[in-house]
Amino acid sequence: MSNKDTKLNYITNYYEEQESQDYPVSFYYVDFKDMFMGTVRHHWHQKLEIDFVRNGSATFVIGDHEIVVNEGEAIIINSGQIHSAYTDGKSSKNIMLSVLFSPDYLFDNNESFLTVKYRNPLISNRDFSYYHFTPDKGKKELDCIRSIITQNLNKSYGYELITKSLLCNLWIFLLSALEKDTRKASSLSLADTDRVKEAILYLHANYSKPLTLDNIAESIHLSKSECCRCFKRASHLAPFEYLMRLRIYESALLMQKGDASLKLSDLAKDTGFNNASYFNKTFKKYLGCTPSEYKERIKRSHRDALNPYGISL
What percentage of the chain reaches a pLDDT higher than 90?
64
Per the CB < 8 A criterion, the answer to whether 77 and 48 are in contact is: yes
Counting the structural domains of the chain, the total is 2
Please tell me whether residue 220 adopts helix, strand or coil conformation: coil
Say yes or no: 148 and 121 in one domain: yes
Distance, CA of 294 to CA of 284 (rounded, Å): 9
- For residue 246, give the CATH number of its domain: 1.10.10.60
Say yes or no: 29 and 168 in one domain: yes
Task: From residue 294, give the alpha-carbon distance in Å to each of 42, 87, 260.
Answer: 24, 22, 13
Is the pLDDT at 196 greater than 50, yes or no?
Answer: yes
Distance, CA of 276 to CA of 268 (rounded, Å): 6
Region class of 10: left (phi > 0), else alpha (psi between -120 and 50), else beta: alpha
The DSSP bridge partners found for residue 131 are 76
Task: From residue 268, give the alpha-carbon distance in Å to each of 107, 210, 280, 284, 285.
Answer: 48, 12, 8, 13, 15
Say yes or no: 201 and 174 in one domain: no
- For residue 51, give the CATH number of its domain: 2.60.120.280
Q: pLDDT by residue (tens digit) across 115-154?
A: 889 998 898 887 889 999 999 989 999 999 999 999 999 9
Say yes or no: 141 and 31 in one domain: yes
What is the reported pLDDT for 203? Answer: 97
Band of pLDDT at residue 13, cut at 50, 70 and 90: very low
Distance, CA of 233 to CA of 190 (rounded, Å): 13
Distance, CA of 22 to CA of 112 (rounded, Å): 20
Per the CB < 8 A criterion, the answer to whether 131 and 79 are in contact is: no
The answer as to whether 312 is a domain residue is no
In this predicted model, which residue has the larger pLDDT, 198 or 258? 198
pTM higher than 0.85? no
**H or E, element range at 95:** strand 95-101
The DSSP bridge partners found for residue 96 are 30, 53
User: Which has the closest alpha carbon to 37: 80, 87, 71, 77?
Assistant: 87
Which residue among 125, 156, 179 closes a domain? 179
Say yes or no: 155 and 257 in one domain: no
Q: pLDDT by residue (tens digit) across 80-118?
A: 999 999 998 777 899 999 999 999 899 977 778 888 899
The answer as to whether 309 is a domain residue is no
Distance, CA of 300 to CA of 304 (rounded, Å): 6
Distance, CA of 208 to CA of 269 (rounded, Å): 7
Q: Which of 9-23, 63-77, 180-194, 202-216 has the lowest mean pLDDT?
A: 9-23
What is the reported pLDDT for 308? Answer: 41
Region class of 53: left (phi > 0), else alpha (psi between -120 and 50), else beta: beta
Range of the domain at 14: 6-179
Band of pLDDT at residue 3, cut at 50, 70 and 90: very low
Band of pLDDT at residue 19, cut at 50, 70 and 90: low
